[in-house]
Amino acid sequence: MWWSVNSRTRLVGRERELTTVRRLLRRHRLVTLSGPGGAGKSRLAAELCPSGPVVELESVHRPDLLWHVIAFSLNVWEEPGSPLHATVVRALAEHRLLVLDNCEHLIREAASAVAELLAGCPRLRVLVTSREPLDLAGEMCVEVGPLTPADARQMFVECGGAPELADAVHDHLPLAIELAAARTDVPARHRTLDAVIGWSYDLLAPAEQSALRRLSCLIGDFDLDLAAAVCGDPAEVVQLMASLRAKSLVVRTPSSSGARFRMLESIRLFGLARLEESGEAPVTFERLVDHLIRAIGDIAAAPMIENNTNTWLASQEHQLLQAVERVPRTDPRHTWLVAGVVHVWYLRGSYSEAMRMACAALTHGPLTSHAEMLLFRAAWLAGFTGDEVAALRFAEALVAHPAMSRPVWEARGWNTLGYARGINSDLAGARAANERSVAAARSLGDPCLLMTFLNNHAWHLMRVGDLPGALAAALESLSLGVPDGFRLMASRHTAGVIALAANDVDQAEHHFAIALRVGAPESLAQAGVLEGLGVVAARRGDADRAVVLMAAAAATRRSGGSRQEEPWNHMVSDARELALSSAGPRRASQAWRLGERLDHAGLTAYVNSGQRDEPLTVRQQQIADLVVEGLTNPEIAVRLGISTGTVRSHVTQMLSRLGLSSRTQLAARTARAR
């Protein structure tokens, strides 16, 4: 999340606004920071709400994607049969504060969304930044305008400007001050933000002006490769970016995936106007489209879409969306661009939105020669959204596509058809298609692809009752030695389910425990792994443990876990109901709360500890002894001279390590050990 042209600059001259907004947020549920562009509304919101959650809307140019962006920002996944906005409302039911930043270009849609959120989330408060109010009942507006002359002077100096030039900028908007401070010779005639941006642009060298114009076609943040693509001068792009950044016309955004940059919208719109005036807009946008198309083509040709590729493609969402709008549907490249967007939305769990876009592209005229990627994703999306007939139609179209002449797509196409036939109850046809996909993957010689397709085949064989065949396929999948946490977790889960189907509870636990330990914590398969461990516990008669693990699985699904499949969903639901019934309402409630609050590390410790009595630390033993005496967390904190949060953390850790689900069980165990 990026808040300011220079986020390192201390917030200056906003003490009154900070005090006012904090007071209003205590008493009212909707507060809007309104004011002109460059006034520092986003920076002020960052100071007020440093930990979020924040929904950044500056880069969103399609009103119909508002709920999609809110859901993604909050890591909320679409639920089958439920509108996305209803899912978001449920996810925010217990939240206390939400920030919607830069709403002015979506003012009607933002107002409607906020009204629905406030109506459905009684505890929620919303802080909005916008150039105009939402005009909703109960809205409290705080105007964020220019700084006072004294504060403007102080900010200019703190931004590195020469003190003797501090009075030259009379606009007194923070952005204008920061831009002016980046220069050493501020003319007195620059009194407005537009004038300061224009003046800064006029002082650039021709190559810098050209780069600024061309970079303005990029929405949101971008990397150096994309900057080089639209600028058309890869050899000079690093130096140009460094120069523009030094002048505060481009800023670097926080990222763990390499250098990324962006322009403030006021500067981007100025540059976009200059781009149109120069006549360079068509060729610049063509460069952007060509860059995206080449990347998607490389992705489509690769045996597997790797995690780093997914991350990169997700970072291009805004560029892909504007490219889709600019390229006509009659252009074959349109299908490739739509495939890129659909894949990104698929990764985020926005299945219905992705399916609508895919169908619109696939039903518009004859299929293009570049439709394989979109057909592939559409077939799986149709299955996930419950349209089995469409899934089969798209899968059959993929198998008939010319791309099937390439080994990668031969394997991928037959695997997709196997999935589609399976959900349409054509089990024999699904088996035949899966066998062809596995054979194609073997001939291709890619272990990652083979591991994935063997795992899919193992699941299908288990479904049709061929447990020996299923086990052989699952074990071969695991024997390939692919060091990928996502695939390892999925294959271990499948092996565990097969063991449960064969009533081998110990072997099932072995596979599930390894999956949790070595798999990727963010994998879609983690929910299924936790459910598997819950089934194991239920079959052993350990109801409390089963409920803890089922609760953890449910919490994981809410944050993006995979969907249940036949016959696994019946096995899980039966075990869950048995555990809840056996534990009884009170114990089940305690165990469920524990499972919901365990993070990945806590879950791993809980699973590994089992019911073993592991030694406590000295501090934990002190706390456990006081729990036996019936003291509450605050009382223990006072007795030991530590914070209540520290006590709470120690209690949670002890419950996790000892396989317990309540303070009562902890007290009983401690008393027995005395």
pLDDT of residue 98: 93
pLDDT of residue 168: 65
Q: Can you say how many angstroms the Cα of residue 442 is from the centroid of all Cα atoms in its chain?
A: 34
Q: Can you say how many angstroms the Cα of residue 178 is from the centroid of all Cα atoms in its chain?
A: 32
What number of H helices and E strands is found in the chain? 33, 8
DSSP track, 423-492: HTT-HHHHHHHHHHHHHHHHHHT-HHHHHHHHHHHHHHHHHTT-HHHHHHHHHHHHHT----HHHHHHHH
DSSP track, 494-550: HHHHHHHHTT-HHHHHHHHHHHHHHS-TT-TTHHHHHHHHHHHHHHTT-HHHHHHHH
Return the CATH number of 618-673, one of 3.40.640.10, 3.40.50.1820, 1.20.1280.50, 1.10.10.10: 1.10.10.10
pLDDT of residue 566: 60
Map residue 83 onto helix, strand or coil: coil
Domain 14-143 superfamily per CATH? P-loop containing nucleotide triphosphate hydrolases (3.40.50.300)
CA distances from 644 to 623, 648, 664 (A): 11, 6, 19
424-435 per-position pLDDT tens digit: 999 999 999 999
d(CA 178, CA 161): 9
Q: Which secondary-structure segment (H or E) carries 577?
A: helix 568-597
d(CA 333, CA 164): 55
d(CA 568, CA 564): 7
- Taking the C-alpha atoms of 152, 155, 157 and 159 in order, what is their torsion angle to the nearest 10 degrees? -140
Token output for 412: 């991928």
Q: Indicate the length of the chain as a whole number.
A: 674
Which residues lie across from 125 on neighbouring strands? 97
Residue in 89, 81, 77 with CA at minimum distance from that of residue 113: 89
Can you state the percent helix, strand and coil of the chain, rounding each to 5? Answer: 65, 5, 30
Task: Output phi, psi for 508, to 5 deg.
Answer: -60, -45
Residue in 327, 325, 194, 326 with CA at minimum distance from that of residue 271: 194
Per domain, the residue ranges of the chain are 14-143, 149-189, 194-278, 483-608, 618-673
Question: What does DSSP say about strands 260-262 and 222-223: parallel, antiparallel, or unpaired?
Answer: antiparallel
Domain 483-608's class?
Answer: mainly alpha
pLDDT of residue 188: 47
End-to-end Cα separation, the chain, in angstroms:
52
pLDDT of residue 612: 43
d(CA 169, CA 152): 9
Are 181 and 270 contacting, i.e. CB atoms less than 8 angstroms apart? Answer: no
Whether 194-278 and 618-673 share one fold: the answer is yes
Domain spanning 194-278 has what CATH number?
A: 1.10.10.10
Q: What is the mean pLDDT of each run of 10 residues along the chain (674 residues)?
A: 45 89 94 88 88 84 88 82 87 88 91 95 93 92 89 84 70 78 56 73 91 93 92 87 86 74 85 94 95 89 79 89 90 91 88 91 76 93 92 96 92 96 94 96 92 94 92 91 86 93 90 86 82 93 92 78 64 91 90 87 79 66 90 90 84 69 79 71
